[in-house]
Amino acid sequence: MNLQSNFQRHPAAFLVLLAILFGLGGCASPTTVADLTPASMPKDAEIQPMQGSIEVRTAVPSETTRPTYVVMPLQKWIDSDKLKQAIEQSVRQFSAFGEVKQSNADYVLEVWLDKVQNALDIPGGVFIFDFTSVWRLTRVQDGKVLACEFVKGHGEGSGLASKAYPPGIKAATHEIIQKGLAAITDQSQSHLSALSTAGNRASIQPAN
């Protein structure tokens, strides 16, 4: 990166970059489960309610995955427990399944957040988060994988230092939950784009 050139071309945005990198804007408050739970479903991600109960299991990395712009810990913003609870709350809110259980459910939903990457749009002074996840729905009765889909999410945030992180992480999480629930409840077509990659992946162990 040519610092002098970037400063001359985009001075205001370059100062935002420096603030983000060196923490000049202070720390943001941690995200909550409510922050990560979408309030509504977009028209292109319609829920088709399924009968029966569901158990949700999640796996989230402890830090951003490479390649990424800034390597950063994630526990303050999103972790396995927060994502699990946000998905469970969304299942209830949008009536995706009849009931959420912690064990002995009719279906098991496993969600792996495989990639959490960030980037900086210097001209716009916007911090970007991109998520890549795998959603696998298994029917417990016969062990059949009903859905195994790649689901991506994108979010952007403005602000200084870590205050730029929460808006982007919230938006990316909302998008994967919206798209993920729409995919696993859609019985009109196959949702198995990740089957060759994650169809036989070891199961996520239930949370204690």
Q: 158 and 176 in contact (C-beta within 8 Å)?
A: no
The pLDDT-based confidence of 79 (bands split at 50, 70, 90) is very high
Scan for tokens 């784009």, then name that residue: 193
Residue 162 has a CB neighbour count (10 Å cut-off) of: 19
Residue 75 structure tokens: 């526990």
Structure-model confidence comparison of residues 11 and 187, the more confident one: 187
The pLDDT-based confidence of 182 (bands split at 50, 70, 90) is very high
| Alpha carbon distance 166, 36 (integer Å) | 9
Q: ∠ at Cα 25 (20, 26), nearest 5°?
A: 110
The pLDDT-based confidence of 15 (bands split at 50, 70, 90) is very low
Write out the DSSP string of 101-139.
-SSS-SEEEEEEEEEEEEEEETTTTEEEEEEEEEEEEEE
Cα–Cα distances (Å) from 62 to 72, 73, 160, 174, in that order, read 9, 6, 23, 19
Residue 95 has a CB neighbour count (10 Å cut-off) of: 11
* Segment 107-136 mean pLDDT: 92
pLDDT, tens only, 32-74: 999 999 999 998 888 999 999 999 999 999 999 999 888 999 9
What domains sit in the chain, N to C, each tagged with a CATH number?
3-27+47-197 (3.40.50)
What is the pTM assigned to this prediction?
0.87
pLDDT, tens only, 23-35: 444 567 889 999 9
Write out the DSSP string of 135-180.
EEEEETTTTEEEEEEEEEEEEEE-SSGGGGHHHHHHHHHHHHHHHH
pLDDT at 143 over 60: yes
pLDDT at 87 over 70: yes
Q: 106 and 139 in contact (C-beta within 8 Å)?
A: yes
